[in-house]
Amino acid sequence: MNALKIYFLTRTLREKALLLTIIGLVLAVWANSFAGRARAFVSTNRSLSAELREQSLWLSRRGQISLDERKAVARLDPTQTLDGTKLLAEVNRMAAEAGFVSNVQVEDVKEERTTQFVVHSLRFTVRKADYPSLIRFYLALQKRSPYIGLEQMTIQAEPANPAQLTALMRLSSVEVLK
């Protein structure tokens, strides 16, 4: 350290100013980098704390959630519940009844299992449909509730013909395990 002090003191005023400027810039870059890492740490800490609070809330309500689950499953008629294949067949039947002859696409079929039931879901897309047909399909879905549910729906007008619509839907069904 003494050698650096002697080196610094033996320099001219212009060299001292240049060295102090370089040291100041290095310190500014380091401080900026440290501040960025500190902000990222605080942000991550806050989001993780919020997530942990939410998880502990759900875990504290586990007994009530299980009781509600058993009550809901007891209200369902097991003969009316649909597995993945029956869901696909029922959606295709309702689509045909609503007038969707072509431009229908079904994809992304998934299932989530619990001890008492299985939730089947799929993404259903209809292109170049008219509004009354979409309403008929929606009403047919509503009649099958709670065995078939509409989780999400997005409707867009076709660019070439605004009277025709594209509808993207996420449909799900519950299958009660025996």
Confidence of residue 87 (pLDDT cuts 50, 70, 90): confident
d(CA 113, CA 118): 4
pLDDT tens profile 54-84: 999 999 999 998 888 788 777 777 777 888 8
- The mean pLDDT value for 98-122 works out to 85
Q: State CA 82 to chain mean position distance.
A: 25
Is the predicted pLDDT of residue 172 greater than 80, yes or no?
yes
Confidence of residue 177 (pLDDT cuts 50, 70, 90): confident
d(CA 41, CA 50): 14
- The mean pLDDT value for 142-154 works out to 89
Q: What is the DSSP letter of 125?
A: E
**pLDDT at residue 11, as a whole number:** 87
Is the predicted pLDDT of residue 50 greater than 90, yes or no?
yes
**pLDDT at residue 137, as a whole number:** 92
**pLDDT at residue 8, as a whole number:** 83
**pLDDT at residue 178, as a whole number:** 67
pTM of the model: 0.60
d(CA 150, CA 141): 8
Q: Which comes out higher in pLDDT, residue 70 or 25?
A: 25
- The mean pLDDT value for 19-42 works out to 95
Domain boundaries, the chain: 2-57, 77-176
How is domain 77-176 classified at the CATH fold level?
Answer: Alpha-Beta Plaits (3.30.70)
